[in-house]
Amino acid sequence: MTAEAVLDLSHPPSKPFRETLARLLGHRSFVIGGFLVLIVLIIALTADLIAPFDPLRNAARVRLRAPDSVYWFGTDHFGRDILSRVIHGARISLIIGGATVLMTGLFGTLIGAVAGFFRPLDNPIMRLMDALMAFPAILLALTVAAVLGASVVNVIIALSIATAPHTARIVRASVLVIRELEFVEAARALGASEARILLRHVLVNALGPLIVRLTYVFAIAILAEAALSFIGVGPPPPAPSFGNIIANGRDFMVVAPWITIFPGLAIIVTVLGLNLLGDALRDVLDPRMKV
Amino acid sequence: MLGFLTRRLAGAFLVLLLVSVLSFGIIWLVPGDPAAVFLDAGATPDQVERLRRELGLDKPLAMQVVEWYSRILKGDLGRSILLSRGVTEAIIERLPVTLSLAGISLVLSVVAGVAAGMVAATKHGQPVDQAVMAGALFGLSIPEFWLGLVLIVVFAVQLGVLPTGGFVPPTESITGWIRSITLPAIALAVVHMGFIARMTRAALLEVLSQDFIRTADSKGLTRLHILLRHGLPNALIPILTVTGIVAGSLLGGTVIIEQVFSIPGVGRLIIGAILSRDFPVIQGGLLFVALVYLTINLLVDICYAIVDPRVRLE
Amino acid sequence: MTRRITWSALAFAAAALAAGSAMAQKKGGDVVIAITQAPPAVDAHVTSAQAARNITLHIFETLYARDEKAQPQPELAEGVNISADGLTYVFPLRKGVKFHNGKEMTSADVVASLERYRKVGASATLLGQIDTVSASGPYEVTIKLKTVQSTFLDNLSSPRAPIAIYPAEEAAKAANQINYIGTGPYRFVEYKPDSHVKLVRYDGYSQNPKATGRDGFAGKKEVYLDTVTFRFMPEAGARNAAFEAGEVHLVETVDGPTAKRFANNSKIAIHKALPFALQVIKFNHAQAPGNDVNFRLAVQTAIDMEEIMAIAFADIYQMDPSWLYPGSHAHNDAGKARYNTADLKAAKALLDKSSYKKEKLIFMVDSGRQNVDTATVIQQRLKEIGIDIELKVADWPTVSKIGFTKEGWNFWAHGFGIEPYEGPASVMSPWVNGTSQQAKDEKIDRLFDQLNREMDVNKRKALFTEFQQHMWDNAIAMKAGNYGLFQVATTRLKNFTPYRIPRMWGVWLE
């Protein structure tokens, strides 16, 4: 369908890793995006060390404090420090994003590769993927979350179900082109088994578009986690995620806008970094893909 | 072309069938039932059970499956448990709301996006280009619902120039309608504006690098002239495709924006139905949304096939 | 000269104002009320949701209704004659009461409505003791009970899921399929899902001739407004913003910080509906460690109830050990010594005696902010004595399903609003048969049975006091405190006083 139409699939053969890396490092988007993502990652990893306060501790005395020299981002209605919650929130948001990428990568690739390589299965599998894609991702995730209940793991499952079909389609498209290419034909002629070909050649060569797609999936997952939290099916309290801090502040949007604003900015920084990375990876790994 | 159409339609029908199975099946997995919504915390399970019977929710699965398919084949989506009206009626009632929100956002994103993309492409590599692209990327990174909240605080509460939410039908008041739709439409459009700007720029750059443009260039025509006369028409196909993608994505986006701005549209209908277990509305709503999605995709495919014959052979 | 003019102008204005408040009541005007949820139904019989009550009690009326002090008073009935054995109730009906369709209410309508309620009523158990209902005259209805029930009139007048009187032809219809025709002071106009319900003044309304003034759900219901629109606005931010922008005139509930912010605004009147509900925390007695009284007491002893109330219900709560509202006849302070102790040391000692083995426990709540806040505060507090709690937040249908089963939860918090209003029997009823705690409690069942048969008010109070003491001594369940609602209204809305619903009779717009 449209993705195939937008993609031009005459894919260049793989380049040596070192050359790719050099091109990436010379790419401005990669450097800026990588820098932003790295900072968020470091904050998430060292949250326990750098957060000025316990993100879960209630302190009724200092409820709804506006940002000041002690509470840089202000406090929420429990008297919890928003800065500390945003810092710790980075951890859960990145875990959700990362795990969604892994699940989507794994299942999307598997489904796409099987559909692309075993022609009889292609039609049924891809029609099912189309059916899943016929629901807006957020509705699909909401429905799945309503079925499974709100928890970090269930949010990951819901987001993976919502993002895997598109990924499967991209992988399938790459596989379809690559399997007809000469070097795969050659491998087949040399007596390599189908499974081996699938694994060794086709998947390795489909890696470029996949990595690009998964970078965007990471960004989508961070945004979608926040949206799910807003509807009330995100990660449960009290552990903070970017999304549930915002959701928590919605009742106090006017009297204490800082609860809503700061985690929103954190999302923007993270997603911007990921989008920049995605753009750079696309330019280098998959130059024919436009958006 | 006819072969292409039949293949596509058959495929779409198959997908729709799967969608109907999915939207029927999903409700069997959701815990809880609509009777609970009628009752407060003091209600005992006995009371819930009685009410279930009275509301006619205790039919066996097989019967429900039969009813579901005989109904949808007739185009009847059933009756809502909570809204005291038919599902079709409930959807039709809200469709203009969602369509006007998505429609205005689409116009906003296409106009602003294409313009920004054109500016960036003509000034390729210059600071203007970089600024536009940075802005587009920034727009792509903002959570829609968060932007909606911020817009409410700034424009509705602090400045008090626009309403905080709700929806005024254009039949009631045109200015009221414009005022009520402005903030949500902007919140929705920002992300897609960025998307379209990037796409337009990429498509134009590709066209502009082609031979006939270089010829036109060498003939001494102005950049703007070349762009409007040769560049844009040739870049129209990818832009059209992206507009189709955006139209679908906007429908998804309305779901959450309707929630933020308390707009009674189709998205809020479905979310409300999920949260209150109004099963006929969940099933009918999901089926309807999927149908709209598939139709948009099909139209995009057909447009694409008309302009690019190679696609038909695939 | 200018000064003089100013002064005289002011004097004139003051005089006009004084005159205004004396003649005051002005006919006309449209009021928009922002409520937090859409009503699940406008059929009063089938729902006990607060959102529905807000609306249905403007449209429909009952044979008996609760007055300001929650006592049953005749409404559509003229009164009642109770037989000596306490089993037969004869209700003479008011004559000349017109439904919104213009037809006069007769005994046939009442009988059909009561029969319908017994079948489809959301709280059909309210009429559970009825043996027969019959029309003993065109304006007289006779009800026979199976056994003596001290609370029968209380039940009949309960606003929980109101036992509304419908025209007989509507009462013949299935649950949630009726036309909304009642005898109340407002007529139903339209219901737009996810948007609003609109009511218009019923000019044919027949006042209760015995009524003198506005009195709870009973009394005089003089309507000055032309229309009332209930707008469903689940987003607190949107509700408050719409109020500030003048789009709505009254908000059902705003949070404490927002109320404080509005307090400086001379155009906004802040009303307190306090107490509105008890915040209750339930234990699952069917599961370890909730089946262990030492564990439950450890939790009860550890919790700082005031911390919960201060965070979840900022500036609008009362600390009170009673399971009834202050002012209620049976209100008492049994169990006071065990309430709000916040004693971590004593709690730890109790915990060590209990069967709790550091396992992870589930605190289940619906996604309403106050309930999530309650769970969050308790979770943090109990962490200090080594109790490990995980929050499980789900929507109401899921929570209310799991909460009445033996598995999947250890704690559950929610408000108890209508029960304490209804009275002692309604507060006890959820714990009878172990319904809410998932394990039968002989003592509660016995006390409830006695209460139901006891006709003497003071003995009933003694029974309830014993129940309350039992609740605290065994930590059957806990109450954190009484919470209220801040209701904000434009000062143009005159004579408004908050009650269990925002009553739109006796008020007018200026």
Identify which of C160, C193, C241 has the shortest CB distance to residue B156: C241
In the numeric block, which tokens belong to residue B67? 């009813």
Regions in chain B scoring below 70 on pLDDT: 1, 211-214, 216-221, 223, 307-314
Torsion angle (degrees, nearest 10) of CA C496, C502, C506, C510: 50
Separation of alpha carbons B80 and B55, rounded Å: 11
Cβ contact (<8 Å) for A250 and C258?
no
Percent of chain A with pLDDT over 70: 92
Q: Give the gap in angstroms from C-alpha A237 to the nearest C-alpha of chain C.
A: 7
What local confidence, expressed as pLDDT, does residue B38 receive? 86
> Which band of pLDDT confidence, cut at 50, 70 and 90, is reported for residue A231?
confident
Q: Give the gap in angstroms from C-alpha C175 to the nearest C-alpha of chain A.
A: 27
Identify which of A77, A238, A253 has the shortest CB distance to residue C237: A253
Identify which of C235, C241, C398 has the shortest CB distance to residue B157: C241
Separation of alpha carbons C154 and C69, rounded Å: 12
Q: Which of A47-56, A201-210, C245-254, C492-501 has the lowest mean pLDDT?
A: A201-210
Which of C32, C509, C490 minimizes the C-alpha distance to C268? C490
Which of C500, C510, C495 minimizes the C-alpha distance to C222? C495
In the numeric block, which tokens belong to residue C178? 């009726």
For chain B, list the domains and their CATH numbers: 2-73 (no CATH), 95-313 (1.10.3720.10)
**Backbone phi, then psi, for A269, in 5-degree steps?**
-60, -45
Q: Which residues does C1 contact at the CB level (< 8 Å), separation at least 6? A: none
Place of tokens 């309507």: C223
Task: State the DSSP code for C77.
Answer: B
Hey, is the C-beta of C362 within 8 angstroms of any chain A C-beta? no
Helix (H) or strand (E) holding B121: helix B87-122
Cβ contact (<8 Å) for B84 and C175?
no
Q: Across residues A14-43, what is the average pLDDT?
A: 87
Separation of alpha carbons C477 and C415, rounded Å: 13
**Would the pLDDT of A233 be above 80?**
yes
Hey, is the C-beta of A64 within 8 angstroms of any chain C C-beta? yes
What local confidence, expressed as pLDDT, does residue A288 receive? 57
Separation of alpha carbons B92 and B99, rounded Å: 11
In the numeric block, which tokens belong to residue B212? 């006939």
What local confidence, expressed as pLDDT, does residue C9 receive? 47
Does residue A238 have a cis bond before it (omega within 30 degrees)?
A: yes
Place of tokens 């319904």: C435
Cβ contact (<8 Å) for C376 and A254?
no
The pLDDT tens digits of the residues spanning C49-75 come to 999 999 999 999 999 999 999 999 999
> Which band of pLDDT confidence, cut at 50, 70 and 90, is reported for residue C12?
very low
> Which band of pLDDT confidence, cut at 50, 70 and 90, is reported for residue A13?
very low
Cβ contact (<8 Å) for C49 and B38?
yes
Can you spell out the DSSP letters for C209-257?
Answer: TT--SEETTEE------SEEEEEE---HHHHHHHHHTTS-SEEEEE-HH
**Would the pLDDT of C11 be above 50?**
no
- Classified as helix, coil or strand, C30 is strand
For chain C, list the domains and their CATH numbers: 26-235+492-509 (3.40.190.10), 275-485 (3.10.105.10)
Q: Give the gap in angstroms from C-alpha B247 to the nearest C-alpha of chain A.
A: 11
Contact C425, C123 (CB under 8 A): no
Cβ contacts (< 8 Å) between C400 and chain B: which residues?
Answer: 32, 36, 39, 41, 43, 48
> Which band of pLDDT confidence, cut at 50, 70 and 90, is reported for residue A19?
confident
Does residue A236 have a cis bond before it (omega within 30 degrees)?
A: no
Cβ contact (<8 Å) for A135 and B293?
yes
In the numeric block, which tokens belong to residue A203? 């998947």
Q: Across residues C13-20, what is the average pLDDT?
A: 45
Length of chain B equals 314
Nearest CA in chain B to A254: B153
Q: Give the gap in angstroms from C-alpha A150 to the nearest C-alpha of chain C.
A: 6
Q: Across residues C224-243, what is the average pLDDT?
A: 89
What local confidence, expressed as pLDDT, does residue A188 receive? 75
What local confidence, expressed as pLDDT, does residue A2 receive? 35
Separation of alpha carbons B165 and B177, rounded Å: 11
Torsion sign across C-alpha atoms A174, A175, A176, A178: positive
- Classified as helix, coil or strand, C82 is strand
What local confidence, expressed as pLDDT, does residue C358 receive? 94
Whole-number average pLDDT of chain C: 92
Q: Which residues does B84 contact at the CB level (< 8 Å), separation at least 6? A: C41, C42, C176, C177, C191
Identify which of C194, C244, C416 has the shortest CB distance to residue B264: C194
E strands in A58-210: none
In the numeric block, which tokens belong to residue C154? 């209380």
Which of B301, B314, B266 minimizes the C-alpha distance to B98? B266
Cβ contacts (< 8 Å) between C376 and chain A: which residues?
Answer: 58, 78, 237-238
Q: Across residues C298-322, what is the average pLDDT?
A: 96
Contact B244, B296 (CB under 8 A): yes
The arrangement of strands across the sheet holding C88-92 comes to C81-82, C88-92, C140-145, C130-137
What local confidence, expressed as pLDDT, does residue A7 receive? 37
Q: Which amino acid is at C130?
A: I
Separation of alpha carbons C444 and C49, rounded Å: 26
Contact C449, C220 (CB under 8 A): no
Cβ contact (<8 Å) for B276 and C397?
yes
What local confidence, expressed as pLDDT, does residue B308 receive? 64
Place of tokens 């003497």: C456
What local confidence, expressed as pLDDT, does residue B307 receive? 67
Torsion sign across C-alpha atoms A157, A162, A167, A168: positive
Place of tokens 């040769």: B230
What local confidence, expressed as pLDDT, does residue A232 receive? 85
The pLDDT tens digits of the residues spanning C216-231 come to 999 999 999 999 999 9
Contact B258, B181 (CB under 8 A): no
The pLDDT tens digits of the residues spanning A46-63 come to 999 999 999 999 888 888
**Would the pLDDT of A9 be above 70?**
no
Strand C508-509, strand C493-494: pairing:
antiparallel
Cβ contacts (< 8 Å) between C123 and chain B: which residues?
Answer: 42-43, 47
Separation of alpha carbons C416 and C411, rounded Å: 15
Contact C468, C332 (CB under 8 A): yes
Torsion angle (degrees, nearest 10) of CA C46, C47, C48, C54: -120
Cβ contacts (< 8 Å) between C380 and chain A: which residues?
Answer: 56-58, 238
Separation of alpha carbons A112 and C153, rounded Å: 68
**Would the pLDDT of C90 be above 60?**
yes
Cβ contacts (< 8 Å) between B262 and chain C: which residues?
Answer: 232-235, 238
- Classified as helix, coil or strand, C178 is coil
> Which band of pLDDT confidence, cut at 50, 70 and 90, is reported for residue A247?
very high
- List chains adjacent to chain C, taking adjacency as at least 3 C-beta pairs closer than 8 Å: A, B
Cβ contact (<8 Å) for C245 and B160?
yes
What local confidence, expressed as pLDDT, does residue B220 receive? 67
Contact C31, C158 (CB under 8 A): no
Reported ipTM:
0.87
Q: Which of B68-72, B229-233, C204-208, C491-495 has the lowest mean pLDDT?
A: B229-233
| Number of C-beta neighbours around residue C160 at 10 A | 25
CATH superfamily for domain A13-53+74-289 = MetI-like (1.10.3720.10)
Cβ contacts (< 8 Å) between B290 and chain A: which residues?
Answer: 131, 134-135
> Which band of pLDDT confidence, cut at 50, 70 and 90, is reported for residue A133?
confident
Q: Across residues C163-182, what is the average pLDDT?
A: 95
* Of B250 and C14, the one with more pLDDT: B250
Cβ contacts (< 8 Å) between A4 and chain B: which residues?
Answer: 314
pTM for the model stands at 0.89
With vertex at residue B213, the alpha carbon angle to CA B209 and CA B216, rounded to the nearest 5 degrees, is 150
- Classified as helix, coil or strand, C331 is coil
